[in-house]
Amino acid sequence: MDASSREAQRTDVLIGGAGFAGLALAIALRQGLGSAFSVTVADPALARGASDPRASAIVAAARRLFETIGVWQAVEAQPIVDMVVTDSRLQDAVRPTFLTFDGDVEPDEPFAHMIENGPLLAALVAKAKEEGVVLRPTAVVEFSLSPRPGSAEENAARAPSRRVEVELADGTALAARLLVAADGAHSAIRERAGIASHGWSYGQSAIVTTVAHERDHHGRAEEHFLPAGPFAILPLTDAAAIGHRSSIVWTEAAQEAARIVALPDPEFYAELERRFGLHLGEIAAVGPRRVRPLGLSVARAFIADRLALVGDAAHVIHPIAGQGLNMGLKDVAALAEVIVDAVRLGLDPGSLAVLDRYQRWRRFDTVAMGIATDGLNRLFSNRSDVLRLARDIGLGLVDRLPVLKHFFIREAAGLVGEVPKLLRGEAL
């Protein structure tokens, strides 16, 4: 049925996608603009509950956002107190350390924490309900501008009366001043809007799992650059009946990753142990194994008429630096600030003039991060001895220059450049 043929329910902003980005944006908007500003989030995953078994590194800036919107207090987070980086071959008996980060970005503020995705998503859903966000457990399927651009009605209408008419999979029709695509890497909303993405596949996949180990990790994260790609050991909080745990993000060539995850348990553990080592004592895999293909993609535009893209819908990068979600939260903080400022000035939050501020704020930074992670992956995921020497000299230099190291820690923590208010820990 055509959405325009039914009486559409009105909402100021409709967000398609209830992942971290969509939910955080919805909460920030309600907190910034109050109950007179209506926000709806639609996602079929809302019916399934928070079942994501993965874990994520949340950098200091993103943690400040979660603290400011009042969800950080509801999750258990493991501070990353230091990080070691090694660059070696799989068969090397010893992995020399080239870089160590043991800095706080501010006194007593670690540069990152590890959280489990499931509890954080559950906390976001609970907070969204508390703030009066309307949650609809169904997908966005269609949308069109109303009145149609260039039509006589549109020319007669004042800009604030224009809407985007959206049809949900359950047949509901909604009319919003702004539609936000927060529907992830394969964003159907972005595609429906005709916005192309640039990028490529890396021919690599990441194997993700959780490992229990005998000894305490003491909050240390490890990134081992192996020829097939990075193998990261990221500390998690201890769990009852399991004890010490770490999250593994293990990059391999796509075919090899598919082979490894399909192995029977004993062989899978043997492959895991070859990479993990025995420095934390005996290890046992305790979580499900998942495999995710890796690629780079950046949307050609982050906005269109009454449409804004955030999170993976706008960009997907290599997890080599654990920055994908953190970049999405930077989008959220910037878009929330732009919308709140505009509405307080009486401006139309869906107009291109308002949205353009968001695009200028975020697109360059995103392209720069995309290029940086792409370069890192190319530099490290190869077998060239010449490149290996060059990168080891580079890493060694950074390790010996405190000023440079402090800059990289603040950069990795998301605190460099024009930082939006929520990422500085300031309410909107």
Ligand X SMILES: Cc1cc2nc3c(=O)[nH]c(=O)nc-3n(C[C@H](O)[C@H](O)[C@H](O)COP(=O)(O)OP(=O)(O)OC[C@H]3O[C@@H](n4cnc5c(N)ncnc54)[C@H](O)[C@@H]3O)c2cc1C
Residue ranges that bind ligand X, judged by CB under 6 A: 16-22, 42-45, 56-57, 139-140, 182-184, 188, 206, 208, 249, 292, 311-312, 319, 322-326, 328
Complex with ligand X: residue 31 or 117, whichever CB lies closer: 117
Tokens of 176: 């919003």
Complex with ligand X: residue 343 or 415, whichever CB lies closer: 415
Instruction: Answer for the pair 333, 423: CB distance below 8 angstroms, yes or no.
Output: yes
Instruction: Answer for the pair 10, 36: CB distance below 8 angstroms, yes or no.
Output: no
Complex with ligand X: residue 147 or 322, whichever CB lies closer: 322
Q: What angle do CA 125, 128, 131 make, to 5 degrees?
A: 155
Nearest approach, Cβ of residue 106 and ligand X (Å): 20
Nearest approach, Cβ of residue 233 and ligand X (Å): 12
Complex with ligand X: residue 41 or 343, whichever CB lies closer: 41
Indicate the burial class of 229 (C-beta count within 10 angstroms; 0-12, 13-18, 19 or more). Answer: buried
How many whole angstroms from its chain centre is CA 121? Answer: 12
Complex with ligand X: residue 187 or 348, whichever CB lies closer: 187
Quote the CA–CA distance of 249 and 243 in Å, as a whole number: 20
3-class state of residue 51 by DSSP: coil
Q: What is the DSSP string of 201-224?
A: EEEEEEEEEEEEESS--TTEEEEE
Complex with ligand X: residue 143 or 147, whichever CB lies closer: 143
Nearest approach, Cβ of residue 397 and ligand X (Å): 26
Nearest approach, Cβ of residue 160 and ligand X (Å): 26
Nearest approach, Cβ of residue 183 and ligand X (Å): 4
Nearest approach, Cβ of residue 135 and ligand X (Å): 11
Tokens 């992956």 belong to: 377
How many whole angstroms from its chain centre is CA 147? Answer: 34
How many whole angstroms from its chain centre is CA 290? Answer: 18
